[in-house]
A and B are shown apart, each in its own frame.
Chain A
């Protein structure tokens, strides 16, 4: 008997849901959605969006694979290599996802359909580009109806983009505590007064929030909104025009310009590149997935990606991740996904019953992990015991390439300059002892022209 399990993130929409059958990811289309599903297919919208790379391709499979008797179709969507969440994206990733959502809406509109939801969680990054993964997000347009997902779009996309652009990039992480987007009244309180001078922000955030507020909402109970088709089109065009000029210009962050302030000489950097490549080649069997922790702008992640390994470049700094993503976009890199992650407070399981959004750990382990010049930030910068650092690394990867930076290194000396050295065990021997609790040391080499050591570790 085959085993069927629904996904914790797929329960809200009665049109259908995603489930696993014997480990295979499938999407069930339910009977009430049939009319809309057929319209999606027969109007040519599905083919158009898939060929434009805006919608995840899905193959219709045998109806007998359905999870229950409500199905009218079963789809097998292309598997997305790594599921990321909006609170892990850089500014430009969120902006590109917003613009992709609006483009999908406009293309659907041309075929007499609309997007019935506009959740940022419906967008994933596939081959370096944002793609809608919910095939059931479309419904036939009904004359006179406003866009039901307008509020959701403003909360999921416009509010965080405006906050990052006009206040601080760190506010992007508010999406982690507000899974249905940042409430507009809160956004109004956080935005500077000057934001009111931008017509789109004034309209879609400030005035929109006012319309949602208590008095307005009470007086409008029972009223039904009617809206002409041209007005819906105008609204979406205006949202697009509001989002396009929003920009994030990082300044003076530590990591965004890391490689300009590193203590590596050109020769040492070249050697490290060659060693990382060689270590990756030593991983057996050849890895398919890689996480580069503390990747900065993804310089070393690109080595893994260039070897055909699906790579996620994690970093805590929004500026570094932004730069990494802009480079990915410019170079059309398909195997590299830069994402934000604070390893001292990693993404937890979130949402209903803590099962809607997976934690960082739940999305692992990967075949190979890279932690280059990271351990001292965790051990000295955050006082995490070395044994805990190694235990954490062991939970994320089957193999690990780890760079150990000793106290003699100028970067560590700088970290210790302003504080008491309470790390008697922080040395190579202490590190190796901690590593051996979980890993076997396969290779261990000094990085030429530095005091640092690179380790290739295999999980025990």
Chain B
């Protein structure tokens, strides 16, 4: 317990300094990571889509 006047800046919500280097780095790295993340999370859908396309073609070819 400590009785002090509050250190307040009531106009500043973003009180935490993210660090310029850190912010720029994560922006660059985030984009790269996003590629991997997208592939990892969407791979199942991709696979299903391509398999569907391939299967569809195969069916059409068989029919023709």
B47 at the interface (CB under 8 A from A): no
CB of A212 within 8 A of CB of B13, answer no
Residues of A close to B37: CB separation below 8 A? 230, 233-234, 237-238
Residues on B with beta carbons closer than 8 Å to the beta carbon of A211: 21-22, 24-25
Asked whether any CB of chain A lies closer than 8 Å to the CB of B48, the reply is: no
Whether A203 touches B29, Cβ cut-off 8 Å, given contacts A146-B18, A208-B22, A216-B21, is yes
Q: Flag whether A413 is at the interface (Cβ < 8 A).
A: no
Contact A220 B27 (CB under 8 A): no
Question: Do A5 and B1 touch (CB < 8 A)?
Answer: yes
On chain B, the number of residues with a Cβ less than 8 Å from chain A's Cβ atoms is 33
Would B16 and A231 count as touching, CB distance under 8 A? no
* Contact status A227-B27, CB under 8 Å: yes
Which residue of chain A has its CB nearest to the CB of B37? A234
Cα(A216)–Cα(B25), bound, Å: 10
Contacts A8-B1, A12-B7: A150 and B16 contacting too (C-beta < 8 A)?
no
A223 on the B face (CB < 8 A): yes
CA distance in complex: A8, B3 (Å)? 8
Closest to B22 in A: A151
Q: Are A14 and B16 in contact, with the CB atoms below 8 A?
A: no
Main secondary structure of the interface of A (DSSP, over half): mixed
Partner of B29, one of A30, A207, A217, A355: A207
- In the complex the two chains form, is A150's CB within 8 Å of B21's CB? no
For the complex, count residues of A whose C-beta is within 8 A of B.
54
Contact residues in A for B13 (Cβ distance below 8 Å): 14-15, 32-33, 36, 116, 139
Q: Are A220 and B24 within 8 A (Cβ)?
A: yes
Chain B residues near A (Cβ < 8 Å): 1-4, 6-16, 18-27, 29-31, 33-34, 36-38
Chain A residues closer than 8 Å to B24, beta-carbon distance: 211, 220, 223, 225
Residue of A12, A148, A232, A234 ringed by the most chain B CB atoms within 10 A: A234
10 A-B pairs (CB sep. < 8 Å):
A11-B6, A15-B13, A68-B6, A146-B18, A146-B26, A146-B27, A208-B29, A220-B20, A223-B24, A225-B24
When the two chains form their complex, are residues A117 and B21 in contact, meaning their CB atoms are under 8 A apart? no
A232 B2 Cβ-Cβ under 8 A:
no
- Chain B residues within an 8 Å CB radius of A7: 1-2
A220 and B20 alpha carbons, distance in the complex (Å):
7
Q: Once bound together, how far apart are the Cα atoms of A15 and B31, in whole Å?
A: 31
| Least Cβ–Cβ distance between A44 and chain B, in angstroms | 22
CB–CB A14/B8 < 8 A: yes
Assuming the A-B contacts A146-B18, A211-B21, are A6 and B4 also in contact, with contact meaning beta carbons closer than 8 angstroms in the complex? yes
Bound complex: CA of A227 vs CA of B30, how far in Å? 7
Given A151-B18, A223-B20, A146 contacting B11 (CB threshold 8 A): no
Distance A146 CA – B23 CA, assembled complex (angstroms): 6
A14, B15: Cβ atoms under 8 Å?
yes
Write out the residue numbers on chain A whose beta carbons fall within 8 Å of the beta carbon of B11.
Answer: 32
| Interchain CB contact (< 8 A) of B27 among A14, A116, A225 | A225
* Proximity bits, A353-393, B CB within 8 Å = 1, else 0: 10100000000000000000000000000000000000000
- A447 proximal to B (CB < 8 A): no
Residues 307-357 of A at the B interface (beta carbon under 8 Å): 353, 355
Contact between A231 and B33, CB atoms less than 8 A apart: yes
A213 to B25, CA, bound (A): 11
